[in-house]
Amino acid sequence: MRVLCEWKGELGRMERKVGVLVISHGSRSDLWVRLVDEAVAAAEVPAGVPVVSSFLEIVEGRLIQDGIDALERQGVTDLVVVPLFVSAGSTHVDEIRGAFGVGQGQVQEHGLGPFRVEARVHFGEPLDEEPELAARILLDQLAAVSSDPAKERVLLVGHGSAEDGFYRKWREGLDRVAERLQAIGGFAQVAGTMLLPNEAPGVMEQLLERGKASADEVVLVAPFFLSEGYFTEKVIPGRLAGYTYRYSGRAMLPHPLVSRWVERQVVGRISGFGERVN
């Protein structure tokens, strides 16, 4: 973990100590966990700020409450929580917010309940809240299958949600990222779609229909997932079976801009806490 500078600050007469808790979903794949940990470790944070990478489920001994406890044992008074998820429409993010007491917490899928936390919580935002950064990651991951963007239409595929409020947030985030990806990549079109509900085949049909006027136009498929796994390897190809397209299957990790995003979440939330000491 590289550092930028030291921080000190006071709230009334109490000295502040900032800690960072990065939360991702978790996986049984050691590679999946390692890629997340490497991205977190590569993030530049102020000196003296401890960082813990934790998981919503599966990775025993490194769950969210474990991370909170580890940071509070170090005397952390202000906890910056970075949700390492791609969409603000994720029900997981909603449930985590609710368990920290910083949101309504409409979803109780994992039965998190309220976390035991004494520190003040400063909650960050998922990746689609920074569409420019997300689009630049996707553009790099598409490089393996892209040759002439002006003649390429891109299908950006996210997990999605069938629940109204979460669907809307997924849609808004996908549209923001798709707009930036089209602008910076120079593609003929970029359209976002979701696996839940199953929109991918219908949107693929629309892209192919619009490309019929030019025989040399092709469709590229880009997974909008944090890391590769079951959905990128099985579900997306399965939903698009029978269609012709180019697909690298590359997810957001590993990409150095994920670490830069973590940095921006952290620095953006602690910038008002105290003074920088160079």
Residue 242: left (phi > 0), alpha (psi -120 to 50), or beta?
left
| Other residues' Cβ atoms within 10 Å of the Cβ of residue 184 | 14
What fold does the segment set 3-128+256-277 form as a domain? Rossmann fold (3.40.50)
Distance of CA 80 to CAs 71, 161, 224, Å? 11, 27, 25
**pLDDT score of 3:** 38
Q: Quick one: CA torsion of 187, 144, 23, 96, rounded to 10 degrees?
A: 40
DSSP label at residue 234: I
Tens of pLDDT along the chain (278 residues) come to 443 434 444 443 357 899 999 999 999 999 999 999 999 999 999 888 999 999 999 999 999 999 999 999 999 999 999 999 999 999 999 999 999 998 766 666 667 879 999 999 999 999 999 999 999 999 999 999 999 999 999 999 999 999 889 999 999 999 999 999 999 999 999 999 999 999 999 999 999 987 775 767 899 999 999 999 999 999 999 999 999 999 999 999 999 999 999 999 999 888 766 543 22
Beta bridge partners of 122: 80
For domain 130-247, the CATH architecture is 3-Layer(aba) Sandwich (3.40)
Indicate if 130-247 has the same CATH topology as 3-128+256-277. yes
CB 169 within 8 A of CB 88: yes
Instruction: At 274, give phi and psi (nearest 5°).
Output: -170, -150
Instruction: At 139, give phi and psi (nearest 5°).
Output: -60, -45
Domain ranges of the chain: 3-128+256-277, 130-247
The structure's pTM equals 0.88
Nearest alpha-carbon partner for 100 in 120, 115, 110: 115
